[in-house]
Amino acid sequence: MNKQWQIELEKIIKDKKRLLSNPADLLSYGFDGSFGQYQPERVVQPINREEVADIMKLANTFGVPVYPRGQATCLSGGPLPVRGGIVLDTCKMKDKLTIDSENLTATVSPGVITSKIKEAAEKEGFFYPPDPSSAHVSTIGGNVAENSGGPRGLKYGVTGNYVLGLEVVTPQGEIIRTGGQTIKNVTGYNLTQLLVGSEGTLGVITEVTLRLIPKPKSRVSLLVVFDDLVASGKAISGILSSGIMPSAMEIIDQHCINAVERHKPAGYPVDAAAILLIELDGHPKAIEEEMVEADRICREIGAREVQTASDEEDQKKLWEARKLVSPAIAKIKPTKISEDATVPRSKIPEMFERLSEIREKYNVELVVFGHAGDGNLHPNILTDKRDQEEMKRVEMAVSEIFESAIEVGGTLSGEHGIGTMKAPFMEKELGKIGLEMMRRVKEAWDPNDVMNPGKIFPQDGQTKLVLTE
Amino acid sequence: MNKQWQIELEKIIKDKKRLLSNPADLLSYGFDGSFGQYQPERVVQPINREEVADIMKLANTFGVPVYPRGQATCLSGGPLPVRGGIVLDTCKMKDKLTIDSENLTATVSPGVITSKIKEAAEKEGFFYPPDPSSAHVSTIGGNVAENSGGPRGLKYGVTGNYVLGLEVVTPQGEIIRTGGQTIKNVTGYNLTQLLVGSEGTLGVITEVTLRLIPKPKSRVSLLVVFDDLVASGKAISGILSSGIMPSAMEIIDQHCINAVERHKPAGYPVDAAAILLIELDGHPKAIEEEMVEADRICREIGAREVQTASDEEDQKKLWEARKLVSPAIAKIKPTKISEDATVPRSKIPEMFERLSEIREKYNVELVVFGHAGDGNLHPNILTDKRDQEEMKRVEMAVSEIFESAIEVGGTLSGEHGIGTMKAPFMEKELGKIGLEMMRRVKEAWDPNDVMNPGKIFPQDGQTKLVLTE
């Protein structure tokens, strides 16, 4: 028999195609790109903010958890319905994608795929820099909720740096607008940036206003090959302290290089200890000079080889191969645990050393790639969740990765979010009071704890990662 | 006789030179760069975070209002001790100013003067872009609390865009750290950006970690003269939609030009309707091309004259004159009311028209300059607060400026903050619930309302500006 709230929900979403309850649907809305599988009681697909507001009012009244999600490419468990209830899928809210050429802004519905925004902007001569690897499948609503990053964080910042304003449905079902259309706005608290990266725990995003910038005139890419991982770390510092600000600077270690070459050969040198992929953008004359300078710096530090790619096709190939790293390493073993520990740039060589010790110590398949220019590494552990003994070791390895990042002055998460997996480590980074001040915001906004409950904040006494069942 | 909290305060700040209570001191800590004069009961000058924490614990226990301030150059009343209590002057906390060349960050005490950060960064080849006109006197703590802007917002953003982490004493006297040293950080809510621009109502800033960027290789400036204000607005759009992103683009109207020339002649053309001051920075080749292009666009739209300045001395002169606008217009009449209504760039011509109507309608001395490139205008009204009849008209004119900004899709404040003067208009821009969601944060963090009370949030029923006594 249906519960009262389920009956009420049918009055809000009358279109049966947008209110799902059969087991197959519930199953397919129970996971994301991270670890774990849960079962919601209902899945709804609202098409406008009024429906979202009505759903939240109902949820708030009946105390039913609501789990908002876009395409669920999330790597930290953000959309997981850990306490059942309602999954609120925003993918059908995708009718708006307006470029305002005079004000250099884009206004978009939350369900719009991020790469479509980029394309629309480029058609008008503009540039939307945030470029998470999932951009061709993930939604802008999800990107904003998780404050997605990607390779371009170094020079251009992350999603949040481009969000000027939001329309949001609060946990109690009220529709508010934050920020606006202007770059400068100090009218009261910055609720926009409070909501960005809040992982759907403070509201449901129903519209986003984004800042665009002029499209850079040209781009070049470099592939730099190193026989020594530490040297590659030094090259990163060397380039940045020379005054060059690459639009992207990625590192790929030997394990990842080999995985890519096995998966879909890209011509990466399989015997290299690491490669750096560097993108420079701007005025043609400027990047020509910078390219020569970067080449010189890398060779001086001990790069074995520097390849440059100026034409669009060659560059595309280089970067497409980079995007294959994640799917390629996923083939090594059935379970992939992807982290995003982020450290001050100067600590990259030290972090590499620590990661290699962790690999040895726990005998786990630990590989590393990531956005080296901004210190945002992606240590990935490839494992098999059915192997309970190995999972114990993985658990300890992951914990030690988190601890190492904090110890060298870094942070638990650079771009994936906290979700379920990193919640136990929050207090270690933020301290008791730091975490308490976040919790106060959550409680003030969502007194009945219905908005994506079970995320970010550790459950009572939860201070350890548990991956085994 | 001293109150109990005053006796306790003496136990925290034992150095009598840093705990002020004589009438002359209290008087001189009772105003800022805005309108109004109030009287605190005590002024304290803590020298470290522990003293700040103890002061806040005491204030929280006894329910005494605490008003943090830096150099009080604030134009919106942020530091005004509107309910008496304690003024907490952070100017003596200025021992730390560390540039980290490897991580491109600066870590600074709140009392450090902003221009000193810029100088220290430049010595190492880096650039700290935020450039409020008060930078040579205002403190970084105040800049962060108010999220100060300046001419460079267009290309480089405002103070908040450079704040990576904070150390803050909460309203209840706990010391927390937010953010960190990395560009990417999504570990829980973005408390850093919640605190930036919160005008000292959520905590006292005791340390700031700032992001630096490589210093642009070169700079040029253009002075563009227009016989028609609307044409100057069109030139702004024309330049931006051509793909050029100037590092600054300022507008100065005829009234302001004349005031500057009377104050300290800079060679600005006194018969022009408006002038644009444009700064381009980047690679020498790139800005050379952009300079030619900007010149062409401006002339095509009807500029009477375009002067270019490439050498450092000439540029310095141009921009120093720009910084004189505010002191120069202050000489017109004894009271200067400086606003910072900010509109979407495309609405600048419309806003200019409205401002000129307001000038006529209320017969007030209304002049305009500002950061035209990012829509952040500075309508200033010159008046005399002793003239009650004129003040009534000023009141109405200011209200109509606020309303106009909101009506064209802009915001009450681009960079000065809300403080006391704009609080009555908050609900008009944010809506009842939008404002309520801000208030919930304030109440959750500061349950006893001791942290800069009386700011941002309108008092009960307060919906109108009152400048007369």
Q: What are residue B381's phi and psi, to 5 degrees?
A: -110, 130
Exposed, middle or buried, A323 (CB in 10 Å: 0-12/13-18/19+)?
Answer: middle
- Can you tell me the distance from the alpha carbon of B316 to that of B310, in angstroms, rounded to the nearest whole number? 10
Q: Are residues A41 and A83 in the same domain?
A: yes
| Residue B33 within a domain | yes
Which residue, of A43, A63, A89, is where some domain finishes? A89
Question: What residues in B contact A103, CB-CB < 8 Å?
Answer: 344-346
Question: What residues in B contact A176, CB-CB < 8 Å?
Answer: 430-431, 433-434, 437
What mean pLDDT comes out for the span B225-251? 90
| Residue A468 within a domain | no
| Residue A406 within a domain | yes
- The C-alpha torsion from B260 through B261 and B265 to B268, rounded to 10°, is 90
Instruction: Look up the CATH number of the domain holding residue A14.
Output: 3.30.43.10
| Residue B442 within a domain | no
Task: Please report the number of interchain residue pairs, chain A to chain B, with beta-carbon separation below 8 angstroms.
Answer: 263
- Picking from A193, A375, A426, the nearest residue to B182 by CB comes out as A375
Instruction: Look up the CATH number of the domain holding residue A140.
Output: 3.30.465.10
Are A410 and B438 in contact (CB < 8 Å)? no
In chain A, which stretches have pLDDT less than 70? 469
Which residue, of B180, B214, B248, is where some domain finishes? B214
Q: How many domains does chain B have?
A: 4
**Contact of B213 with A245, CB cutoff 8 Å:** yes
Q: Are residues A209 and A194 in the same domain?
A: yes
- Can you tell me the distance from the alpha carbon of B79 to that of B87, in angstroms, rounded to the nearest whole number? 8
| Residue B466 within a domain | no
Residues near A220 by Cβ (< 8 Å), separated by ≥ 6? A279, A280, A281, A287, A288, A291, A308, A309, A310, A315
Q: What is the pLDDT of residue B469?
A: 61
> What band does B241 get if pLDDT is binned at 50, 70 and 90?
confident
Q: Are residues B187 and B167 in the same domain?
A: yes
Q: Are residues A176 and A284 in the same domain?
A: no
- Picking from B149, B237, B286, the nearest residue to A184 by CB comes out as B149
The alpha carbon of residue B254 is apart from the nearest alpha carbon of chain A, in Å, by 25
Q: Are residues A204 and A101 in the same domain?
A: yes
- Can you tell me the distance from the alpha carbon of B399 to that of B464, in angstroms, rounded to the nearest whole number? 8
Are B188 and A418 in contact (CB < 8 Å)? yes
List the domain range (segments joined by +) for residue A351. Answer: 332-417
Exposed, middle or buried, A1 (CB in 10 Å: 0-12/13-18/19+)?
Answer: exposed
Are B240 and A417 in contact (CB < 8 Å)? no
Are B240 and A415 in contact (CB < 8 Å)? no
Q: What is the pLDDT of residue A469?
A: 60
Instruction: Look up the CATH number of the domain holding residue B239.
Output: 3.30.70.2190
Exposed, middle or buried, A432 (CB in 10 Å: 0-12/13-18/19+)?
Answer: exposed
Q: Are residues A187 and A281 in the same domain?
A: no
Are B186 and A101 in contact (CB < 8 Å)? no
Question: What residues in B contact A437, CB-CB < 8 Å?
Answer: 170, 176, 191, 445
Are B104 and A345 in contact (CB < 8 Å)? yes
**Contact of B336 with B365, CB cutoff 8 Å:** no
- pLDDT tens, residue by residue, A56-69: 999 999 999 999 99
Are B191 and A434 in contact (CB < 8 Å)? yes
Relative to beta strand B86-89, strand B97-100 is unpaired
**Contact of A422 with A413, CB cutoff 8 Å:** yes
| Residue B446 within a domain | no
**Contact of B184 with A374, CB cutoff 8 Å:** yes
- Picking from B170, B196, B343, the nearest residue to A437 by CB comes out as B170
Q: What is the pLDDT of residue B250?
A: 95
**Contact of A310 with A300, CB cutoff 8 Å:** no
Q: Dig out the tokens for A442 from the structure.
A: 């959550």
Using DSSP, state whether B453 is helix, strand or coil. coil
Question: What residues in A contact B444, CB-CB < 8 Å?
Answer: 440-441, 443-444
Order of strands, sheet of A175-179, starting from the edge strand that comes earlier in the sequence? A97-100, A105-108, A204-211, A163-169, A175-179
Are B182 and A346 in contact (CB < 8 Å)? no
Q: Are residues A202 and A109 in the same domain?
A: yes
Residues near A306 by Cβ (< 8 Å), separated by ≥ 6? A222, A223, A224, A225, A295, A298, A299
Q: Above 70 in pLDDT, residue B309?
A: yes
What mean pLDDT comes out for the span B113-117? 98
- Picking from A176, A189, A243, the nearest residue to B441 by CB comes out as A189
- Can you tell me the distance from the alpha carbon of A336 to that of A176, in angstroms, rounded to the nearest whole number? 38
Which residue, of B275, B297, B328, is where some domain finishes? B328
Residue in B closest to A341 by C-alpha: B185
Q: What are residue B202's phi and psi, to 5 degrees?
A: -120, -5
- pLDDT tens, residue by residue, B403-441: 999 999 999 999 999 999 899 999 999 999 999 999 999
Residue in B closest to A235 by C-alpha: B102
Q: Mean pLDDT, chain B, as a whole number?
A: 94
Return the DSSP state at A242: T
| Residue B166 within a domain | yes
Question: What residues in B contact A104, CB-CB < 8 Å?
Answer: 240, 345
> What band does B229 get if pLDDT is binned at 50, 70 and 90?
confident
- Can you tell me the distance from the alpha carbon of B333 to that of B434, in angstroms, rounded to the nearest whole number? 38
Are A190 and B185 in contact (CB < 8 Å)? no
Question: What residues in A contact B286, CB-CB < 8 Å?
Answer: 282-283, 285-286
Q: Are residues B156 and B184 in the same domain?
A: yes
Are B410 and A180 in contact (CB < 8 Å)? yes
- Can you tell me the distance from the alpha carbon of A241 to that of A236, in angstroms, rounded to the nearest whole number? 9
Q: A189, A347, A350, A443: which to substitute to probe chain B, counting the most B Cβ within 10 Å?
A: A189
- Picking from A187, A197, A244, the nearest residue to B413 by CB comes out as A187
| Residue A456 within a domain | no
The ipTM assigned to this model is: 0.96
How far is the CA of A137 from the CAs of A116, A208, B133, in angstroms? 10, 18, 44
- Picking from A102, A180, A430, the nearest residue to B346 by CB comes out as A102
Q: Are residues B372 and B295 in the same domain?
A: no
- Picking from B180, B410, B456, the nearest residue to A182 by CB comes out as B410
Neighbouring-strand partners of residue A139:
A113
Return the DSSP state at B423: G
Ranges assigned E (strand) in A180-316: 204-211, 213-214, 218-226, 248-253, 274-282, 305-309
Q: What is the pLDDT of residue A372?
A: 87
The alpha carbon of residue B125 is apart from the nearest alpha carbon of chain A, in Å, by 8
Are B415 and A177 in contact (CB < 8 Å)? no
Residues near B360 by Cβ (< 8 Å), separated by ≥ 6? none
- pLDDT tens, residue by residue, B124-146: 999 999 999 899 999 999 999 99
Residues near A2 by Cβ (< 8 Å), separated by ≥ 6? none
Q: Which residues of A106-127 are buried (b: 16+ CB within 10 A; e: fewer)?
A: bbbbbbbbbbbbbebbeeeebb
Are B426 and A188 in contact (CB < 8 Å)? yes
Q: Are residues B346 and B308 in the same domain?
A: no
Percent of chain B with pLDDT over 90: 81
Are B411 and A180 in contact (CB < 8 Å)? yes
- For A417: left if phi > 0, alpha if psi spans -120 to 50, otherwise beta; the answer is left
The alpha carbon of residue A3 is apart from the nearest alpha carbon of chain B, in Å, by 31
- Can you tell me the distance from the alpha carbon of B468 to that of B389, in angstroms, rounded to the nearest whole number? 9
Residue owning tokens 């700011």: B455
Q: Are residues A254 and A178 in the same domain?
A: no
Q: Are residues B283 and B198 in the same domain?
A: no
